[in-house]
Amino acid sequence: MTEHFIQCENLVKIFQVAGIEMIALQGLNLTIDKGELVGLIGASGSGKSTLMNILGGLDRPTAGKIRVDGNDLLKMPDNQLNKYRREKVGFVWQQSTRNLVPYLNAIRNVMLPMTLNGVTGKEKQRRAEELLDIVGLSQRKNHHLPELSGGEQQRVAIAVALANNPTLLLADEPTGEVDSATAKTIYRTFQTLSRELNITTLIVSHDRTISKHVDRVVGIRDGMLASETIRQMVDSSPTTNSDGSVTEEEEHKYAELVVLDKAGRIHVPHEYLEQFDIRGHAQLEITEDGILIRQAAQTVTEQVQVESGEGGGNGMMPRMGHAGAITVKREKSKGGLFNRFRRNKEE
Ligand code: ADP
Ligand code: MG
């Protein structure tokens, strides 16, 4: 089996906060190939930053498998993980200032991580100029940060992230604080890097239109990979310009597909389930077009435990322990919803 550049299998991350477990990733599966430019979308709290931090070696997963460029990020000793993070990963954050020193000009910002890594002299200068050229800021290399626009500062931050020649570039909402025109220039910068340096790049975004700017978009929901947006088709349609010339316009179509895992599980969006009031159980029906997920017919069974002691009143109070548990059958008739309770002896 060929190894992917990034391979996450059943990745789990649990945070302990004041004794309470918070599951940020619950069995995430994801593979990314070398040189791919991938968008990662998902609602706030879905686990995007947690995944980025783990991929970047800033944090460790609780369980599962994760390999990046042949490195086992779960089992690696701390000193090797630190080395991996310093040498293999570049980070770009939402606030570009997190990567930048405000009183240095653009080129000195790019040279700083190289100095810390022992690169000196002409080589340092040459590489910093080359990186600023790739991000389109050659003309601005001697400008100090306050003289640069938000988008330009973010592009300096990208050059800084590349200073140590990483193989993986992780950008956590890099367009979160800029307008859409600036976001486009930032996306274009990532495209150039992916094309010219073959650097594997993951960009977290809230913005679904990111699908236009990357090779692939993966969606996470509740700490699991839930969907992939696939570019389905490219049409060329000629358009006539005002001067009478004709240009071929490429038209891309996108489809958001749910991910089906090896065990046959799919993640159905909450809003779909709510729309059809599907909870707890569902029925699958084979139709001519495929598989239909329906609200479970007529009977939904829920186990509840009920107080059966003298003080139990109507016998419907919750009770700990196994004795006297009853099954509540909530039955639905054609005319509407009513509840009927039946008592089962639990041995
Ligand atoms: P996203 O980036 O998609 O908004 P996060 O990865 O930041 O989501 O968070 C996923 C979940 O994990 C959230 O519920 C968040 O509260 C929790 N979480 C993230 N980091 C920590 C942490 N350091 N300690 C405790 N809980 C955390
Ligand atoms: Mg986040």
Query: Across-strand partners of 218?
Result: 40, 228
Separation between Cα atoms, residue 48 and residue 219, nearest integer Å: 9
Could you tell me if the CB of 16 is within 6 A of ligand 1? no
Report yes or no: 192 and 69 within 8 Å, Cβ to Cβ: no
Name which residue sits closest to atom 24 of ligand 1, judged by CA.
Answer: 15
Question: Domain locations in the chain?
Answer: 6-258, 299-342
This prediction's pTM: 0.79
pLDDT of 192 reads 93
CATH number of this structure's domain 6-258, picked from the four choices 3.30.70.20, 3.30.230.10, 3.30.420.40, 3.40.50.300: 3.40.50.300
Could you tell me if the CB of 49 is within 6 A of ligand 1? yes
Separation between Cα atoms, residue 218 and residue 229, nearest integer Å: 6
Query: What average pLDDT does the chain have?
Result: 83
* Residue ranges of the chain whose pLDDT lies below 70: 1, 232-237, 248-250, 298-347
Could you tell me if the CB of 276 is within 6 A of ligand 1? no
Provide the 8-state DSSP code for 95. S
Which ligand number lies closest to the CA of residue 47?
Answer: 1
Name which residue sits closest to atom 27 of ligand 1, judged by CA.
Answer: 15
Could you tell me if the CB of 17 is within 6 A of ligand 1? yes
Name which of 191, 166, 186 is nearest 176 in CA terms.
Answer: 186
Task: Look up tokens 């089996």; give the residue.
Answer: 1
Residue 52 C-alpha to ligand 1 middle, in angstroms?
11
pLDDT of 271 reads 84
Name which residue sits closest to atom 7 of ligand 1, judged by CA.
Answer: 49
Give long-range contacts, CB 8 A cutoff, 24+ apart: 321-324.
322/346
Separation between Cα atoms, residue 188 and residue 183, nearest integer Å: 9
pLDDT of 95 reads 86
